[in-house]
Structure 1
Amino acid sequence: MNRPRSLKRVAVLPILAIALAAGGCSGSADDHLPAGTNAQSPMTSDPNRVVRGEYLAKAGDCSACHDAADHTPLGGGMPVNSPFGPIYASNLTPDPTFGIGRYTLGEFSDALRYGKRRDGKRLYPAMPYASFAKMTDDDVTALYAYLMHGVMPAAKRAPETHLPFPFNQRWGMLFWTFAFGNRDQFSPDPKQSAQWNRGAYLVQGLGHCGACHTPRGPAYNELGYSEESPLYLTGGVIDHWFAPNLTGDPGSGLGRWSREDIVRFLRTGHGAGAIAFGAMAPAVEDSTQYLTDSDLNAIAVYLKSLPPQRAYGDYNDNAHAKVQTARSLETGEKERHGAGIYLSFCARCHQVDGQGQTGKVAALAGSPLVLAEDPTSVMRIVIEGSNSPATETGPAPQKMPGFHDQLTTSQIAEVVSFVRSAWGNHAAPVSDRQVERLRSKIHK
């Protein structure tokens, strides 16, 4: 799971009215898994399934939200930030009192895929059950087997989530699921290759990439759960980070990335001059670096098949643009605002030509993140810095310092605007107001 994005308050009653007008909504949709199957069943205690489930838990990045603050694996209790208050992640260990030890396979499936707890209460969509609904029965069974037999029980009670009215009315999530969620398992496309279908299954389902990279509607609903939606994977803001466009847009998307770039990025956190940042860095550390080469290549094949959507920004890699930028850096603020700030605070690491340093510092020239329509992440990295991921096969982690104590709001806006227009980059400038609004939200 990933941290929820900022969300404007929405009225619950209209949502409920839509669902009721449509005829309500059923409870469990699990008609395939054997009823009453529990952790003692030979099917769910099979060692091969436990091993398979451990791999799936890494692919789904379960630890990102469900590890305890003291690092107890899947012990729960970590707050997932929301504008209405913290939503605490559940204890997923097989402890019978505080964890999921009493869950049957069917009850586990209902919680994982349909957002329904064993006690009948509904989960908030910070848990991406709309994506996990796409999981196959075999994968649900394997994940259940791992959680029941491959994880040590932890007698830890996760704090109760207490949101203000009307968001504390969990029963309303039943109607949210009907009106905005997804309850369909993944259906392979017979027109595509087995590799493409595997990649689509991982991206849409267990990997729940859309939870961060797809924009959301006023009810915190993802605006699409597959490539059938033109907004799917076109970028979204999560907890004051902008997760970039993953479609084939050559400006702010993956249009100029190769399959090999995508595989390298998911394996090491470094690819095509980019470095994983924000919530993506731990996702690489704890999840994607452990995927098989076959699965990483399948993901790359699927992502590279997506046509450009919500195109924004442009990069012209030509000598004229580079000369103009070099002249601006030589003359500083006189010719282009922000050039002097970049030269003083950024050029030593990111280089005068904006190419960065391979394995250490991200390139800014042609960066899809820099060219994104939403500059939130670029502004935030300048304000508070960022850490690159620590992986088994990638470069040593590096830390970029934050400049919130050294640069004013206006200076941050100027240097970000300069970067978005230098070396052939073409993206809109950033205003003082945008920077100030973000600074106030992240308390810097």
Structure 2
Amino acid sequence: MEPKNDKKVIRSWAFFDWANSAYNLVITSTIFPAYYTIITSDKDNNTIDYVTFMGKKFVNSALYNYALAFAFLVIALLSPILSSIADSRGNKKLFMQIFTYIGSLACCGLYFFEIENLQLSIVLFVLAAIGFWGSLVFYNAYLPEIATPDMQDSVSAKGYAYGYVGSIILQLICFVFVFFPSTFGLSGEGQASRLSFLMVGIWWALFAQIPFRKLPAGTADLQKARASWLTGGFKELRKVWAQLKHMPYLKRFLTAFFFYSMGVQTVMLVATIFGEKQLHLPTSKLIATILLLQIVAIPGAMLMSFLSRRYFGNVKVLIGVVIIWIGCCAGAYFVTTEMQFYYLAATVGLIMGGIQSLSRSTYSKFLPQESPDHTSFFSFYDVTEKVALVIGMFSFGYIEEFTGSMQNSLIALAAFFVIGLVFLLLLRKVEPKTENQTFAV
């Protein structure tokens, strides 16, 4: 096993965030959702926009939510199997590569997204999401292998910071094409948007070569190799669940994480469509707003890491952040003006990176540090997050379709955050007493 806290390895690991966060910003947060909403809209603000997919009629934004929910469901089902194979054969880097190339090629394919080939484009959109989230299963599993517990907060935050910087650089490049298409011989904003999808795929695959060259491949577990690769992953999840019964702190933290993740990721994934459909903001302003959100997320993630390390501990900071998220959901329900949306986006940006980074590092700290089963534990973590996302995205889309208002979906998100907050508050009752764990609470 290679020594931990190697600066070159950590830097290489963080560059994977740099590489794939371009997808998270351009495809899930800014240009793609805005482009999707525009080309599937009838341009009448007084009517509901419908699209037909696989012979069934959907509200356009609901189909977007359902597509993502399906992608997360696929990952939730696949990741235990893949993690089992990676653990037994010691090839987690190979699976990082496979999912990266699936995602990046799907993004390149979205260059051909026109309303006439909506069905194929939705399939590519789902594949891109599967590639992104599937690669993260193995990326996250590297954290306890490359950093000691006292360094995992800062290393996790470093990854998010690299991701924000890298994605912003590419977003600014895409910005130029979208706002000045004629300068580059493009037909308009539509072609410029599709060019952005192509650039994301190339950027993602290109910069991923840095971690692929430096990260260790892993060590094969011969005992696991003899088990069934199809059922082995689910057996590992059951094994992790059995271990969690004797780790009440981690079990309760995962419960809290499950509920507040329903809200966090859903808000991030629907923010642009919300601004487009509810406030009818132009694409340029939406992209600028989400870009601002990403910029303020960098100091936000660093601030949360600093506060948890120096003053309050992870859980108290997470409690404060979840309370702010509840306030954001409540505020979004009453948002009616452009400036209110900007203030809300800035607040979400400050807390967005912090809650993701601290969640990952808090979980990592409480794992058995010398265990060879980090991939299995992080598979459990990722399955928890993906199931939460399936529920969050599906409920958001279904409530909008059922009630006719996206704002009503925000009530469900606020409820998810409240439940997560309750379990975070209950963590103090099962606080671990061992000396090497007190730094995290």
TM range (shorter): under 0.3
Normalised TM-score (structure 1): 0.24
Report which structure shows greater RCO (CA 8 Å, sep ≥6): 2
Instruction: Please tell me whether Structure 1 or Structure 2 has the larger radius of gyration of its CA atoms.
Output: 1
Give the helix-richer structure, 1 or 2: 2
With the length of structure 2 as denominator, give the TM-score of the two structures: 0.24
